[in-house]
Structures are given as C-alpha cells and as structure tokens.
Structure 1
Amino acid sequence: MVKDTMGQTRTHTEATLAQATEVAGSVFNSPFSRRIFFAGMAAVTGSVLWSSISQGTAGAQSGGSLEVGRGMADMTGEPWGAGMNGYAVLEQSSIGLQRRQYARSFIFVDPNSGQRVVHCTADVGLMFQSIHLEVLRRLKAKFGDLYGQHNVLLHAQHTHIAPGGTSAHLMVDITVGGFRPITFEANVSGIVDSIVRAHDDIQPSDITLSRAEVHNASVNRSREAFDKNPQEDKDVFPEGIDPAATTLHIHRGDKTVGFINWFAVHPTSNGHTYRHVGTDNKGYAAWATEEALGVDHQHPENAPFVAAFANSSPGDITPNLGLTPDSGPGVNSMDSARIIGERLMGGIAGSSDIPGISGGGVSGIYRWMDISNQQVDGKWTPDGKPGKTSPAILGAAFAASSQEDGGGEPLLGFQEGERGGTPWVEQVGKVVVPPQMHEIHDPKEMLLPVGFIPGMLQQVFPFYIHRIGGLVLISHGFEATIVSGLRLRRVVAEALNVPLDTVISQGYVNSYGHYVTTPEEYSTQNYEGGATAFGRNQLPAMQQIFHDLAQAMHEGKEVPVGGPAGDLTGLIPPAPGANPWMDIAPFGKKFGDIVQRPGVVTSGKNATAKFVGANPNNNLRHGEGYLTITDEDGVVVANDSSESTLITFANSWGSTTVTVSWNTAEMKPGKYALSFRGDSKSIGGQLTPYEAKTTITVV
C-alpha cells in the first residue's frame, strides 16, 4: 500500500494511475475524462494473492525477482469488405473503422533458470493454429530456438467485430467468405512486432497477483444449462457468473508499467449488425486505461504502459444484461461496450495486502493431443464409467447460435435446447448417424459431422500449463463455460498443490475448437452444448489431459509433446474482393478531394466530413493510421482509435467515398484540422499516397 499527497492510503496500481493522470493533460487524445476513467475504478473488493516484492508490499523498492518485457503493436486487419469472426453472419463484413486492433505482449523470464514464457493478448475474435505457426516461424528466424511451441501463448480477447478469414480450417473461414491474406499478414506481423518489442524491453521487474470482484458487467446466458450442475459447483458462482477479476501487475521500482487482467465475459456488446472494425468492451478497457496512462496509440512502439484485458472462461457469459442482442446497459451498443469496459477497468484495482503465497520463477509444460480420439477414465466422468470422445460433430443448437448474443441464420429455423430444439434434425440423426456416435454425442441433435472431413475443423490441440511467479496459467483453444473452467482449475490446483485462486484457465490460445461445457450442461443442448464438438465427455477428457500434465510438472517429469496436424494455410481460396484490382476517382475529381466539409459545429455535436478516397485495404497504415485531428497548437486530439471517431467507407465500381464522423464532446471552442491519409492503387498495382485535409470549427 502507498499514500498519496493527501495522506490517503491506496493500492500501488491506483497510485500509479493517479500520478500519471495528474500530469496527463494532453495525453487524452480523445474526449475521455479523468472522471469517467476513475468511475470505472470504483467499488471493487479484492486482495493481493501473491507478490514477488519483498515483504509482499507492492510499493516497495526492488531490484526485480524476474525479468519482464512489454511490447505493443498495431495489428489492424481490413476495414472494408472483410467478414468478421464470431457471429458467423455472412452479411457482417467490415465497412469502416471504430478502433484499431492491437497486440499486447509480455515476456516473463526467470533469470536463474533462463526459462521464459510469452503471453500476447490480441484484439481478434479467435486465435488459430495458422497464425500461431506462422508467428513461430518468424520468431525462429529472428531468435533461433529462444521462442517456440513450448513458451509462446497467443490469446484472442474474442471481440466479435474484427476482420476474420485467418483460419487454416475451412469450417471457420467459410463463415466469413474465405481466406483473407491481407488480414492474415496484418495479424501475424502485428503479433510478431509486439513480441519483438517485448523482447527488447526485458529488464528486472517485480510482479504482483491480485484478485478483485466485478459485478454488473456480465450475466449467464445459459442459466438453464448452468443449473444442471451439482450444487457444489453452483455454490461457487451464486449469481451464475464468475465475478473474479485476476490481475498480474508488472512493477519496476515504485512504478507499475503494465498488467494482464483476466475476467470472464464475452466481448459481444456490439451485435452482429455492427460492421465497423473494433475491439468491443475489452478493447475499450485496454485503450482507455492506456490513454489515461500516457500511451499514444499512433505510436504503440513507444508505449510507457501496456494494459492487456484477457479472457478466462466466458463460454456462457454475456455482457448483454437484458439477455437479448444489443441489450447492454447503454443507450446503444457502442455505449454499452464503453460502460462494460469501464466496469472491467474496476477489476484492476487490487486491494488489501495479505501474506505472500509460495512459488516463484518461470516454468512450463505442454503437449499436443488429439481431442477427437480420447479414452476417458471413469474418474473424470459424472457417472463414474469410462467414456470416449469422437471426431467433431456440431449440433443444431450450434447453428442456432447464442440467441442472447445474436448470430446464426434465423430463417433456417434452428433452436437452442431451452427453446425447444430442432426435432427434425434429431429424427434424421436417428436414421443416418451410426449408433456409436449416439453413445458419445447424445442428446445432441447431430447436424454437421465436420470432424470426418479433413481440414474442416482443428482436432489436434496444444494444452499448456505455465507458472509465472505465484500464478498458474492453464491454456487451451476452447471456449469454456465458467463451471468447465472451474473444474479444469481444480484439477491443476490439486495436482500442483496450489490455491485455486492462483490458477487461471484461459481459452482461445494458439488454436480454436469451439466450446466445452460440463457433461451436465451438455445435456441441455443450448448453443454452448451444440458447439461442444467432441461429445459430452470432452471436458472430462480435458480434465484428464491437464491432470497428467500437472502431475508431470509437479514431479519434474517430461512428457511426449507431439505436434500439430496439418492445416490448409494458403490452400483455402481467398475471399471474393480480397484483392481489389484498382481505384478510380469520380470524373472530375482526384483522390483526397473534399466532398462535404464539416463547417461549424456546436461543441458536443458530431462533425462530419466526406472526401474522395481509395480502398483502405491497399495500405492498412499500421501505427500512425489513417486519421489525425489536431487543435490550433498542433496537439493531436483524436485519431483512428479514439472513442470519438468513426470512419466509414462506401465503394461503388472502384470509387470509394470516405466519411469521417467526430464527436466533439469536451472539445473547447476553436479550429481543428482534420487530416486523412490513404493510398490509391493503379491498374498495375502501384500505390500512390494521398491526403485529404479540412478544417472543423467548434463553437
């Protein structure tokens, strides 16, 4: 604990935030007030679970018990014409940019053993083997064997409004129209850049693990399935949510320089009809925290603070508090994403100090396993009988999508179990599906046997356990419900003999295989059960895998690591329109010409400018971006990532119109300069930069 200038006792993190914002002034390059920021920090309870700092005091001076590096990079994909991962709605393709995507990486190094682990939180919907393996190839070319399959964790925070088309398995890419090489390269290069920057930043540091509770930011979207669980599981989550916000803080001396926060909630505040590229509630929380602490998001390479808002086990947890799409606490989906984001920000405020928990250094263990072919010991099944998994079969409830968050195609008539299911699929399944599949998958209404078609869906997955100081992190490629995550954590905590609260289960890591529910939840066949692709014993199989890994880790034994199965990277056809031939300016116009000037606007109103542009996918302009708005002193007040800006592209027969909308809330009266930069493509493929400029007068 530390005391501020008024003598008030505060946590180390809160004090660091306060010190930063006392001199922030110009760092708020968008209308985002200190009052709003600190509202998100209020009313949380929590404790410090573990600290590497002497005497467990987060504010103490220390030479650093670990070495830690932080890095951040722009990884924005195509803001025009790209299908988005998450809702599986073909009509949801990008038409503009609300906020840029970022990769936020941390490298933790044990100076005694030399072991290290990379944790990258990426502003993408899903993480795929294709991205993972390409990132590893590029890291190997630069660093040799320092970074590899054993110690690089790429985690998707799971926004549903980011460009997709980056999987090497057809089942996912088909829902966004095909493979998109430009977005794939953007994602990979951004992640690699963030890791390289983290590597260059490695220096002595301390870490603190804290836990707080965040309420009114989430609700269980599949309560009927949750209620099928045993009472001992439900008692852990009396509200049907997991309120735990666990944060790993990084300190250098008396200063906090970054954190990773895990909290279980879907980033689905923005619904399936929203088509501007963005990062939803978790991305807002990260951006807003960094803005308040002096980060210039146009130059992420110089970020003085990195705030990663990761996900844990959000499989059955939604931010749509009204249990229908776009029913968050705000007046619209963007407002809801902001409000939920501010509530998530409250989860970084670790509170009172308690005795430290034993454990330190960095270590890890991993293994690739074929989840489609597991013999499961009765120790892990609810009925005590041995069980099996099988190649992936997705159910009718999967096709219905989550009817609380949206997605899917309503005209097809598929329903979740609690809404009556889809009887005709069940009847067809009784006739055409072999009896042995019923033994494994019932009562799933079996619709899509994708596991029997090579390349459709990943079936061989990496499973990881890492210790970082007092934190135990288990990683996998699935969307676990909160009780599924609880059972995985219990298995590992018991095998390693560590407190349950220090164990985090995170999905969306280095791979993607849809959902995992408990066998009890599976019986309801809501969306999550229908998307549990490998049968009702999928979770018991994962419990068995993680138990064996944890036991081997505890005993210091090696395990056969195996390897990935092949994928279709580069073989899946590119999405139509992924590579436009050329740009055409309207007759009598040139690129950058103003079509509509914003003129004079009253403070708090939107200023709108339109001009002749080009396809933004020609050059994604990582870093500085497309848009800058400056005041009369040349200070940047808004850019691509600001909460106040929205960029929209309209393309017709090769001609593109760019519309920039800027909310002038909290802007002082005066003149502001708007600059938009882009690149036009000639028929030969040559790019030519252009710039559109106009003035906005705020009164």
Structure 2
Amino acid sequence: MHSFLIRHGVLVLALLLALAGCGHRGSRGGQPDAGQAVGQGGQGLGGTCAGQQSFLIGSGVYDITGPAAEVGMLGYVELEQQTAGIHQRLRSRAFVIASPCNGKRVVFVSADLGMLFQGVKQQVVKRLRDTYGGLYSDDNVLLSATHTHSGPGGYSHYALYNLSTFGFVPRNFDVIVEGIYQSIVRAHEHLGPGRITLAAGDLLDASLNRSPEAYRLNPPEERARYAYDTDKRMTLLRFTKDSGVEVGLIDWFAVHATSMGMQYRYISGDNKGYASYLFEKAKGTRYDATGDTFVAAFAQSNEGDVTPNIHGGEDGGGEDDFESTELSGRKQYARAVSLYESAITPLTGGVDYRHVYVKMDGVTVSPAFTGGPEGHTCPAAIGISMLAGAEDGPGVGHEGATCAAMHDVWSAFTCTTTTTSCQAEKPIVLEMGAMKPYPWSPEVLPLQLVTVGNVALVAVPFELTTMAGRRLRETVRARLAPAGVTEVVIAGLSNAYSGYIATREEYAKQEYEGASTHFGPWTLAALQQEFDGLARALREGTSVPPGPKPRDLHELQNHLRPGVLFDDKPLWGRFGDVFVDARESYARGETVRVTFWGGHPKNDPHVQGTFLRVQRRRGLFWDDVAYDWDWETKYTWRRGYCLPTLACSHAIIEWAIPRDAEPGTYRIVHEGDWKSGWDGRVRPYKGASRSFTVK
C-alpha cells in the first residue's frame, strides 16, 4: 500500500472512520487433510511419482470486476481516487493441477486484485467445500493477487485495508469471492490429462529497485552473488493437454503493478492485467466460454521494492499512465511469448503441499536463522516512513525516519513514547495489535508450500523485497534440492495480507518497505524458520500441526447494501438516449467519443458482461468488435446534473480506433441499469449512437 493512511491532513479522521464492526478471536484447532498426512514418504517429490510427467490439468477464468463508480480504490489509499469507469476488467485466473501418481491436487489462482485478503480465502474455500466436500481445503488452495492498484477496495475484514472506502463494501467482496470460486469450478470441470513444461529467463529494462540505499545495506558478499538489485528472472509454466489443446500459462515476474498512478480512476489490471490480455487475445480466449479456453496468468512474486517506473518516481517512460502501462505490459508479454515457445523442459514428479497458520507476532527465532542471538517477532506496528509512501505513490513526509536519526520533533516524540525495543529502529505511528476486540491487521497468517513436480511455490501473505525473497528461496531450495526440486518461486500476496517483509539490514534504514514490515526486524528470519520446517516435512512426508485457527469475521461485517438511492434523467428523454453523439466519419487512429444518459454502475457491475459494445455492420446485422475490457475502449461514469433531482448520470464511451481496424460502418452501444425511485427496482436499458464510417 502506497502513500498509506491518508494525505492532506485528515489522517486522524480517516483512522476513526475506518473502524467498522467488531470481532472475536476464533477457536483453535483443526486437523490436517490427506495432503498433510504422516507417512506419505514425500511422494510428490519422489517415491511412486519419481520420473512421472503426467498430470491432470484444467484452467478457468472469470470476471471479478466490482463497482465501477464511487468506490475507493485499493493500493495507494488516496481518498480522492474513487472508481469512475473501466479501462480493463479484472479477472480471476485459475489452474487445477492433479497428480495421478499420488492422488493429490492443488489449485493456483492469480487474481487481478490489490491484495488477496484472508476473508476472501475463507469464503472461497467454504464455497468449494460446499460443492466438492473435502477435495479442496486451505491446504491445497493457493490464491494470489497481482497487486494492481487500480481496483475497487473495501473487501477486507480488517480496518487497515478499508481506509479508502471507510469500511466494508459487500458488493465488491461478493463479486470477488464468486468470481474466484467460479474460475476454480471451471478449471475443475475441464481437468484432463496433460503435461506441464518449464522455461525461465531474464527480462531486462522492465523493473527498478525503488529503495536502492536500503538494498545496499545487505552484506556485500551476498549482493555480489547477484547481477542486479532486482530479480530479473521470469519463470513460466506452460500447460498443454495430451489432446494438443493449449490450456494456458502461469508466468511469475517480480514488479509492482503501479504503472497506473494515484490520480488514475479507471478500473485496470495495470501492467500484469494488460500482459494477460495481450496473450489471451493472441490465443483467442473467450471470456464467456464454458468450455476449454486459454488462460494466461501473469502472477506476482517478491516485488516489494521493485517498480515498473524505470525512469524514477512515477515515470514509466510513457507520455501518460496508459502508455506507461502499455510499455511495461508489452515487455512482460513479449518475454513470456519467447519463453512459452521455448518451454520444452517437462515437470517431473507429483503434487504435494504443506500449510500452517502461524501467529506472526509471537515467533521465537533460533540463532540458526538470526545469525546471532535468539530473536523474536513483535506485535504488529507501522513506522512513520510508511506515511511517506513509496516513489510510486508519495505520501506525507520522507522515508528513512529512524530512532537513530530523528529528523523532526514528531520522530523524537514517537521514539520516546511508543517505540518498543522489539521493533528496534522503527518509530511507531500505529500499533495495530492494540485495537480491540481485534487488531487493524491479521496476525494469525497462512504459510503454504506447494510442489508441482520439480517446481516449488512458496506462498507468502506479504510483499517481500528482492533480497528477502532471495533468502527465502534459498532456505527452501536447500531443503528440497536433494529431493529433486530445481525451481523455487515466491508466490507473493497469497492467501492473506499483512504488509511487507524487508531483510534485517534493510529494516534498519526504515525506508517505506522497512516501516511497513509489521512484525519487526526478525520477520524474515521467522519466515525462513517456518518454511524450513514446511520444506523438511514435505521432503520427509510428515505432517505439520495446523497452527492456531485465524478469525473468521465474515458474519460480523455490515452486509447492508445501500447502493444507489435512485437514478434520474431529463424529463424529455429515456435512459440510454444519446447526449453527445458520434461524428459521421473517422479515420483510423482517431477516437470516437459518445455520451449517453445512463444509470449508476453500482446498480449492476455486469459481471461476465460489458457496459459497452463497438459494433460493425455486416449486411443486416451488427457484429461486436470490442468490449469494455479491450485496451482501445474506455467506459467513464460521470455525474450528469439535471433538474429537479440532480441524480442523473452520464456514461461516456470511447473507442480509440486501431490502426488496423477494418473500414466500414460502425456504432457504439451502451448497456446499463437504472434504479427506480418509485418501486426501488433495477431495470436494464440500452442505447446506441448514430452509425459512422471508419475510413
């Protein structure tokens, strides 16, 4: 989260208003599922699965686009950044991978979301359990977020992450849960025999370390092992059924989805969403298909200190946010294409996994992982430098405020009154565990380790910096390499969310990433210790205790759905009428812009649908050529004032005519919904522009 909390002097007000509901600490207990049973002998790594190259694979994609107007966006936490339309729809992309040799399976999901919150995971697993019994559980379902900063928020059960929306937004939460669930159902229903092949290679000139001074505090001998101060390695899995059907790909590359800046108000998957769109468009993906269709997941890794804005600050090299996003997304897409075409190395082995819940504010870390005396994690707190934001989204003040180098009176005051010895250099601005009956942010968090053949996925509910990710990968690799694991991938922002993790050395600098490391300076060491145990158990085929059960706060949230009071229009018109029409003709490269009298998009988010269609006439019929998820279109909602109620809306539809558009006769269609002030019913409407020619 960038420019965290709130700018412009309203921090205290925002903190107070963000408090929503109350909760209780959940009971402890639970049993491991079959995937964690003792005596499996590490079959996912060897044993009966040794040398096996056959899997059951299936993919699915589903819409998770929430309210497209007047909902705070999640990521930068800028109060003025409210959704005001759609540039790209958000998608959940799911893969189910099953191993015939040991009967185990795993779900991997990459969702176009800012974060993947614990409440979402709990509800998705509950839905899967209701549908499939014990086939899917916390243990073998891995949900991750791409970390786009351009989606609607309000879908966490913890107040810290609902600041931009001043509380919980039920409609957005429900759309996200339903969409992730449906993507998994589609992947499950399309399981078939197939192969998974691997390719990896560097992608240069697409990422920059935004905290290089903190990175340089890591030991010189450690830094010398790496050519760059960010991870340039892209890792890609290609899924192909034995029938020859191309199922899709999962691509991991560490870079923030912050090409779109903090003033941007359109819903967008940012650079990773655009890369997915390009690959799926090239493969002819049908988002409304119920059968097999190609799914391209551009997933997140250890991007904590990695920006796509390679020219510094918020500059991605383009003339505006759209061009910067296009540049970054195309780089990722182009490299993924080359890796996809060269992915011939088969994954061998089976599927296995281990999962544990850890109370992250109470871990004792052995000297083997601290490199010195015994360490301890701390009650969660954020530092002053978190308010400063990162270079992608600057906030209030400056990064680097530490108790060793107090920059101002406020720093001195907080170091004297609130900083604990456990949090060391961090001047605390908010102790999140102090809020009762439940804290601002979760402290019982899921850690998950998955192996698919010789590839290990390390699923963490954090944003790890470059070096933190490298250390964690090496910890897991050391345990699993003797069993045949050749590739270790950090799956960041997975299954829950609780801030950043910096190395101990980076933490001392208290840049944005260190100040956002909730559980203190030994958090990374604690994570290495816990994953070392998971890797050992997976290798030896032994179980791990499930750990403390996290809270389930779903029933305690406010599920009232106030939505829109009603919609209005001019007395002489109808919903869907054109306010500003298209011209009679356009040339390729020009932009068509049509404004309609419409309804509020909160009435219906049009999941798996569209708010616009660009149509070309063929004889007596109109064929769709573009929708609201296409890169060349934009759907904008704007308050359109009219008497006597001032409850009117304008829907502005734009189509940037592609340079290769087929000449002919076109029109713009807008589809929406309006709510009656008399009976409260929501009714659909449709409107069309005049026809126009493209020359």
TM-score where L is the length of structure 1: 0.86
How far 1:354 moved relative to its partner?
A: 10
Letter in 1 for 2:513: E
Distance change >3 Å, CA 291–CA 355, structure 1 → 2: closer
Q: Residue 679 of structure 1 contacts residue 687 of structure 1 at CA under 8 Å; is this kept in 2?
A: yes
**C-alpha distance in 1, partners of 2:692/2:373?**
71
Gapped regions of structure 2 (runs ≥ 5): 1-44, 46-50
Secondary structure of residue in 2 paired with 1:277: coil
SS in structure 1 opposite 2:271? helix
Q: 1:679 and 2:666 equivalent?
A: no
Match of 1:82 in 2: 71
1:364 matched to 2:353? yes
The alpha-carbon deviation at position 399 of structure 1 amounts to 1.1
| Displacement after TM superposition at 1:175 (Å) | 3.1
- CA contact 1:136–1:148 (8 Å) conserved in 2: yes
Consecutive unaligned residues of structure 1, counting only runs of 5 or more, are: 1-49, 51-55, 57-62
> Is the Cα–Cα contact under 8 Å of residues 58 and 95 in structure 2 kept in the other structure?
yes
The alpha-carbon distance between structure 1 residues 198 and 353, as it changes in their structure 2 partners (threshold 3 A), is closer
What is the CA–CA distance in structure 2 between the aligned matches of 1:96 and 1:422, rounded to whole Å? 41
Q: What amino acid does structure 2 have at the position aligned with 1:450?
A: M
User: Aligned partners of 2:382 and 2:627: how far apart in 1?
Assistant: 42
The letter of the residue matching 2:270 is D
Which of residues 652, 664, 667 in structure 1 aligns to 2:657? 664
Aligned to 1:688: 683
**Once the 2 structures are TM-superposed, how far is the Cα of residue 309 of structure 1 from its aligned partner?**
0.2
Residues 344 and 477 of structure 1: CA distance in aligned 2, closer, same or farther (over 3 Å) = same
Q: Is 1:339 the equivalent of 2:362?
A: no
Aligned residues of 1:72 and 1:301 also touching (Cα < 8 A): no
Match of 1:644 in 2: 632
Match of residue 577, structure 2, among 576, 579, 593: 593
Q: 2:389 matched to which residue of 1? A: 401
Residues 313-344 of structure 1: per-residue CA shift (max 9 Å, x gap)? 0000000112111x002121111111111111
Residue 574 (structure 1) shift: 7.2
| 3-state DSSP of counterpart to 1:119 | strand
Partner of residue 449, structure 1: 431
Alpha-carbon separation, structure 1, partners of 2:609 and 2:164: 31
The 3-state SS of whatever aligns with 2:134 is coil
**Paired residue for 1:281?**
271
| Distance in structure 1 (CA, Å) of the matches to 2:465 and 2:562 | 35
Structure 1 match to 2:34: none
CA shift digits 1:435-465 (9 cap, x unpaired): xx53221211111111221231011101011
Q: What's the counterpart of residue 184 of structure 1? A: 173
Distance 2:476 2:399 in 1: 35
Give the 3 Å change call, closer, same or farther, for CA 115–496 of structure 1 in structure 2. same
Tell me how many residue pairs correspond in the alignment: 630
Instruction: State the Cα distance separating 1:501 from its structure 2 match.
Output: 5.6
Deviation at 1:692, TM superposition (A): 0.9
**Counterpart selection for 1:429 from 414, 421, 424:** 414
Question: Displacement, 1:238?
Answer: 2.4
Q: Structure 1 CA distance, aligned partners of 2:632 and 2:651?
A: 17
Q: Mark the CA change 1:330 to 1:420 in structure 2 (over 3 Å): closer, same or farther.
A: farther
What SS class does the counterpart of residue 95 from structure 1 fall into? Answer: strand
C-alpha RMSD of matched pairs (Å) = 2.4
> For the residues of structure 2 that align with 1:140 and 1:668, how far apart are their CA atoms?
48
Aligned match of 1:41:
none
Task: Please say which of residues 529-538 and 357-366 is displaced more in the overlay.
Answer: 357-366
State the Cα distance separating 1:573 from its structure 2 match: 5.2
Aligned-pair CA distance for 1:136: 1.0
Deviation at 1:212?
A: 1.2
Alignment-mate amino acid for residue 682 of structure 1: S
In the alignment, is residue 632 of structure 1 matched against residue 620 of structure 2? Answer: no
Matched residue SS, 1:145:
helix
Cα distance in 1 between the residues matched to 2:551 and 2:416 = 33
Contact 2:463 / 2:493 at 8 angstroms: preserved in 1?
Answer: yes
Paired residues of 2:78 and 2:262 also in contact (CA < 8 A):
yes
| Residues 108 and 241 of structure 1, relative CA distance in 2, 3 Å threshold | same
Give CA deviations for 1:489-532 in whole Å, capped at 9, x if unaligned: 11111111257860011111110001000000111100000000
- Compare 142-151 and 623-632 and name the one that shifted more: 623-632
Distance in 1 separating the partners of 2:692 and 2:636? 18
Contact 2:347-2:452 within 8 A present in 1 as well: no
Deviation of the 1:588 alpha carbon? 1.8
d(CA) in 1 for partners of 2:637 and 2:166? 19
Contact 2:257 2:271 in 1 (8 A): yes
Alignment of 1:9-24 (within 5 A): none
Three-state SS of the structure 2 residue aligned to 1:241 is coil
Letter in 1 for 2:692: I
Q: What do the CA deviations read for 1:404-461 (whole angstroms, capped 9, x no partner)?
A: 10143x3xx354449987533431223322xxx5322121111111122123101110
Q: Which residue number corresponds to residue 10 of structure 1?
A: none
Instruction: State how far apart, in whole Å, the 2-side matches of 1:206 and 1:352 are.
Output: 15
Asked if the contact 2:53/2:349 (under 8 Å) is kept, the reply is no
Q: Normalised by the size of structure 2, how large is the TM-score?
A: 0.87
**CA deviation digits over 1:459-499, x for unaligned, max 9?**
11010111101210110100000111111111111111257
Local SS of the residue matching 2:525:
helix
The reply to whether residue 94 of structure 1 matches residue 83 of structure 2 is: yes
CA shift, 1:385, in A, is: 1.0
Residue 565 of structure 1: aligned partner? 550
Contact 1:489/1:500 (<8 A) preserved: no
> Secondary structure, in 3 states, of the residue corresponding to 2:69?
coil
Letter in 2 for 1:550: A
- Pick one of 422, 436, 440 that aligns with 1:440: 422
Q: Matched residues in 1 for 2:680 and 2:526: separation?
A: 51
SS at match of 2:139: coil
Give the CA deviation at 1:563.
4.3
Q: How does 1:484-633 map to 2 (within 5 A)?
A: 484-497=468-481, 502-572=487-557, 579-599=563-583, 600-633=585-618
* 1:655 paired residue number: 648
Percent of aligned positions that are identical = 33
Q: How far did 1:560 drift? A: 0.7
The 3 A distance-change label for structure 1 pair 578 and 427 is farther
